[in-house]
Amino acid sequence: MRTRFLLTGLLLGAVPAAQAQHQHQMATMSHAPRAGLPMGPTAAPGSPVAAFQHGMDSVMLVMDEGMRRMDGASPTDLDASFAAMMVPHHQGAVDMARLQLLYGKDPALRRLAQSIIAEQQVEIQQMQAWLRQHPVASPTH
102 within domain boundaries: yes
Q: What is the mean pLDDT of residues 60-84?
A: 88
This model's pTM is above 0.85: no
Asked whether residue 100 is assigned to any structural domain, the reply reads yes
pLDDT score, position 139: 53
Task: Say if 34 falls within a structural domain.
Answer: no
**pLDDT reading at 67 higher than 70:** yes
Answer whether residue 52 is part of any domain: yes
108: in domain? yes
The total of structural domains in the chain comes to: 1
What is the C-alpha separation between 91 and 123, in angstroms, rounded?
10
**φ, ψ at 100 (rounded to 5°):** -60, -45
Query: pLDDT confidence of 90, banded at 50, 70, 90?
Result: very high
Rounded Cα distance, 28 and 141, in Å: 39
Look at residue 9 and tell me if it is in a domain: no
Instruction: Determine, yes or no, domain membership for 3.
Output: no
How big is the chain, counted in residues?
141
Confidence of residue 22 (pLDDT cuts 50, 70, 90): very low
Residue 60 lies in a domain: yes
Full residue range of the structural domain in which residue 60 is found: 47-134
